[in-house]
Homo-oligomer: A and B are copies of this chain.
């Protein structure tokens, strides 16, 4: 029939350095390894409706390679409805991850939606990171519903979670994005019954001559964060960097630089980043997609 099961993903491995290793890890330099395998099921109805589902099997170092919570969708005329382990509007907005450096993202301090806030000085300074609905590679996800509409350069995305009522907390987010020429602007907002999860985010990204540049800002329930970033490609080599500031007293300006060298089918990637706590992370390794 007209159904298809496709297998894709990526493999990366190398070494990572963390000046403040997590509890239970001895040694600042550790092995980095991730295998991501997406199982993508798709089918086209006779009437032209695309239907599908994704299961991801992913494993990092010291972890099993398990199947996550799946999502499923229908898609027609630029409109997509997806349920289950949704990707989420904040997570999907253009520009949010544009400043990532290194093989692993190095804690993703470049994301303006990740703030330390009141967790500064505690044993878990990053406890409030990732407090929006996002696709979970190794968990069940938010078991939500989302709708995405695309027309020309315009995209709108609305997501909602806890429909199954297990927690009872409602969380709703949306983004609007527009691309004109080399530039894309996006604005997003999240409301939530969970304390501290309210967010408003703005991203801008584009080209200035040979440079890709961007900036982003967010109000995270009162905690403001801004990031500027840029990248430059010469032949097989791409270098990039970012600077991020959070308006919490005592939080350091964070910054990072990265480089990727394309060896034809794979890349050698490395990066180093100063974290908002003053700690340093670095990584280096190989990554290829399949």
Residues of A within 8 A of B (CB): 1-5, 7, 9, 11-13, 21, 24-27, 29-31, 33, 35, 37, 39, 41, 43-47, 49, 51-53, 55, 57, 59, 61-72, 74, 83-84, 139-140, 143-145, 163-166, 168, 263-266, 286, 288-290
Beyond the given pairs A3-B288, A35-B55, 13 more chain A to chain B contacts, judged by CB atoms under 8 angstroms and listed by A's residue number, are A1-B290, A3-B265, A3-B289, A3-B290, A5-B7, A9-B41, A31-B83, A35-B72, A37-B39, A45-B263, A64-B66, A65-B70, A66-B67
Q: Which residues of B contact A9 (CB under 8 A)?
A: 41
Q: Which residues of B contact A264 (CB under 8 A)?
A: 45-47
Q: Which residues of B contact A65 (CB under 8 A)?
A: 55, 67-70
In this complex, the member of A5, A59, A74, A168 whose beta carbon has the largest number of chain B beta carbons within 10 angstroms is A59
Q: What is the bound-complex CA distance between A289 and B65, given in angstroms?
A: 23
Q: Are B1 and A41 neighbours in the complex by a CB distance under 8 Å? A: no
Chain B: CB-nearest residue to A264: B46
* Chain A to chain B: the 7 pairs with minimum beta-carbon distance, closest first: A46-B264, A3-B290, A27-B165, A65-B67, A26-B165, A35-B70, A45-B265
A69 in contact with B74 given A140-B64, A265-B1 (CB within 8 Å): no
A-B CB contact pairs (8 Å), 9 listed: A35-B55, A41-B290, A43-B265, A46-B263, A51-B265, A55-B59, A59-B140, A64-B140, A67-B67
